Structure 1
Amino acid sequence: MKKIETIHAVGHVLCHDVTQIIKDKTKGPVFRKGHIVTEEDIPVLLSVGKDHLYVWEKNENMLHENEAAEILFDLCRSEGMKGSEIKEGKIEVIADRDGLLKIDRKKLFAVNSLSEMMIASRHGDFPVKKGDKIAGTRIIPLVIEKEKMERAKEAAEGGPIFRILPFHKKKTAIVTTGNEVFYGRIKDTFGPVVKEKIAEYPTEFLGQTLVDDQKEHIQEAILHYIDEGAELVLCTGGMSVDPDDCTPGAIAGTGAQVITYGAPVLPGAMLLLAYYEKDGKKIPIVGLPGCVMYAKRTVFDLVLPRLMADDPVTFEELAALGEGGLCLNCGVCTFPNCGFGKGVVY
C-alpha cells in the first residue's frame, strides 16, 4: 500500500472505501475498495476531500486484507457452513444446516491473541439453525504480513475453529416415578412438558411408563426401554433427597456411569446425568429435576441439545456452568439470547 496524489491515481486500485456524505441525501461509499480509478473519477474524489489516496502496492511479503480474510475464514469453517461476501477484510460465518455449534475455544483464543485479526462468535454448545450467523471475522489493517497469517494457521492448528454437529433422530422414552401418579391420585403433568421439549428435535417417542416409588421397579422400567432400543431415557419424579426419592439410586443401579448428581444451575440443581453402555454405544439416562415441569428454562434446556447431537457432556463442563448458571426469570424470556448457561470452561 502506498499514498499517492489523487491527480496521479488513474489506473491504481483503491485500498479503502471512499465515503461521500451529502446532507439529507446520502451517506456511503462512492467508490469501493478494489475500484480501479479512472480519469472521470478524479473530480469526484477531489470533491469529497480526497487529495491523496492509498492504493495497492503489490508486495510478495504482504497480503491484501481480503486475501487474508479468506485465510481466516478457512480456519473457521467446516462442513455445514458458508461465508458471506468479502467486504473490507470481513467475512461472516453462516450456518448452512441445523445443529449444535461447537467451538474450539483454545484455537479461538490463540488466533485472537495474535492481534491485527479478530473472530467474534456466538456462544458454543447451543443450537443453531440454517442461516444463523455463527461468527464475524475481520483483518484489522488494510494489508497484513503473510507471516502473520502463517502464525494464525499454526495457532488454529489448521482449523476448524467451529463445527456444527447434526442432531440425530433418537428413540426416546420417559419413565415417570411416584406413587401419587402411579396409583392415579394425581394426574401426571411432567410427561407432557418433557414431550414438548423433545419435540423440538428429531425423535421417535417409544412411550412413557408410570412406576411406583420402588427402586427395583424404576430400574426395571429404564432397562426395559433400553432393551427396546431406547437411545435416550428421561426420568421424571423422585429426584430430590427425601428418603422415599429412589430415582437416583435406580439410575445408578442399572450399571450406568453417573456423570453427576447435581449441577450448579438454577433452576435445575438436582439434575442427574448418567451414561449406560450397550453394544459399544453410550445411552444417556437423565434424572430431571422437578423444576423442568414448571420453569420456562432450566438445566434441561442446556443439556438436551448436546445429548441430541451425541456430544458427550463431562462433569467439568457441568461444573463450569456455575458462572452463568443462574436464570434471572426475566419478565420476557429471550433465551438463548441471554447469559443463562454461558459457562466458562477453565
Structure 2
Amino acid sequence: MKKIPVAEAVGSILCHDITQIIQDVTKQAIFRKGHVIAAEDVPVLLSLGKENIYVWEADETMMHENDAAEILYGFCHNEGIAKSEVKEGKIEAIATRDGCLKVDTTRLLNLNLVEEIMIATIHSNRFVKQGEKLAGMRVIPLAIAKDKMESLAKMVGETPLLNLIPFNRKKVGIVTTGSEIFKGRITDKFGPVIREKLAPFGCEILGQTITDDKVADIVSAIKAYIEMGADMVVCTGGMSVDPDDVTPSAIREVGAEVISYGAPVLPGAMFLLSYLDGKPILGLPGCVMYSKATIFDLVLPRIMIDERLTKLDLAILGHGGFCNSCSTCNYPSCAFGK
C-alpha cells in the first residue's frame, strides 16, 4: 500500500472503500476496494476532499484490512452467529437464533489492548433476538502485518470469544401469595405479567396457584408443581418484611437452598434466588408487577440456559443495577444491568 496524489492515481487499484457522507442524507461507499481508478474518477475523489489516496502495492508481509477483519470475525464465530459482508474494512457478527449471549470479557479485553486491533460487542448475559447485531470488528490501519495477526490468533486461542446459547424450554409453575387475592378482595395482576415475560423463552406454564398468606399452603403449592414436572417455580407476592409476608420462609421450608434473599438492584431489592434439586425457585417482589424492567429481566436469560447463578453473580449486578425509570423504557438497549 502506498500514498500517491489523486491526479496520478489513474490505473491504480484502490485498497479501501471511499465513503461519501452527506449529513442527514447519505453515508455510502462511492468506490469499493479493488476499484481501478479511471480518469473520470479523479474529479469525484477531489470533490470528496481526497487530494491523496492509498493504492495497493504488493507486499508479502502485510495483510489488507478486509482480510484481517475476516480473521477477527473468526475469533468470534460460533454456532448461532453469522457475519455481514465486509464493508469499509469492518465485519459485524449477527445472531441467527434467539439466545443468551455470553462474551469472554477477559480475553476480549486482552485482545483490545493490542495496538491496531478492535472488537466491540454488546453486553454479555443479555437476551438476544434472531437478526440482532452482536459485535463489530476491524483493524485500525488499512493494512496490518501478517505476523501480528498470527501472534494474535495464538493469544486468543481456539475457543470463540462469543457464545450464543439457545434457551431451554422450561415447564414453569406460578405460585401467587396474598390474602387479598386469595379472598377475592383484589384481582391478581402478577400472573399476566409473569406469563408475558416468560413467553419469549417458549416456556410451558403448568398453571398458577393462588394461596393465602400461610407457609403450609405455599409449600404445598410449590411441591405440587415440582411433582407435576416443573423445571422452575416462580413465587410472587409476600416478599417484603411485613408479618404476613411469609413467602421466603415457605421457600426455605420446602427445602430449597437459598442463594440470596436480596439483590443490589432497583427495582428488585427483595428478590430471592434459590434452588431445589437444581431447579430454580424464585421469589419475586412486587416491583415485577408494575416496573417495565427489574431484577427478573436481568437474571431470566441466564436461568433459561440453565446457568446456576451465585451470590457473586447477583452482587456484580450492583454496578449498573439502578434503573432510571425512563418515561419510555428501552430495556435492554440501555445501561440497566450492564
Distance 1:204 1:26, change over 3 A: closer
- Residues 153, 159 of structure 1: 8 Å contact kept: no
Is 1:331 aligned with 2:327?
A: yes
Is 1:149 aligned with 2:149?
A: yes
Gaps of at least 5 residues in structure 2 are none
Q: Distance in 2 between matches of 1:21 and 1:287?
A: 52
Q: Distance in 2 between matches of 1:186 and 1:67?
A: 64
Q: Distance in 2 between matches of 1:80 and 1:140?
A: 27
Residue in structure 1 matching 2:313, options 301, 313, 317: 317
Deviations 1:70-115 (A, max 9, x none): 0000101211111111122200111111111111111211111112
- Residues 7, 42 of structure 2: 8 Å contact kept: no
Is 1:42 aligned with 2:39?
A: yes
Distance 1:234 1:125, change over 3 A: same
Deviations 1:210-265 (A, max 9, x none): 22222233222212211211011000111112333221122123332222110111
Q: Distance in 1 between matches of 2:21 and 2:198?
A: 53
Tell me the number of residue pairs that the alignment of Structure 1 and Structure 2 aligns.
Answer: 333
| TM-score (norm: length of structure 1) | 0.87
Q: Distance in 2 between matches of 1:296 and 1:21?
A: 38
- The structural deviation recorded for 1:326 is 1.2
Deviations 1:106-145 (A, max 9, x none): 1211111112121112222111111111111111101111
* Equivalence for 2:205: 205
Q: Distance in 1 between matches of 2:237 and 2:27?
A: 61
| TM-score (norm: length of structure 2) | 0.89
| Aligned 1:1-346 pairs, distance under 5 A | 1-4=1-4, 12-18=12-18, 29-37=29-37, 41-42=38-39, 44-45=41-42, 48-49=45-46, 53-277=53-277, 282-342=278-338
- Residues 15, 34 of structure 2: 8 Å contact kept: yes
Q: Distance in 1 between matches of 2:19 and 2:179?
A: 73
Letter of the 1:271 counterpart: F
- Residues 107, 157 of structure 1: 8 Å contact kept: no
Gaps of at least 5 residues in structure 1 are none
Which secondary structure state, in structure 1, belongs to the residue aligned with residue 291 of structure 2? coil
- The structural deviation recorded for 1:295 is 1.8
RMSD: 2.5
Larger deviation: 296-305 or 231-240? 296-305
Larger deviation: 239-248 or 104-113? 239-248
- The structural deviation recorded for 1:175 is 0.9
Distance 1:181 1:81, change over 3 A: same
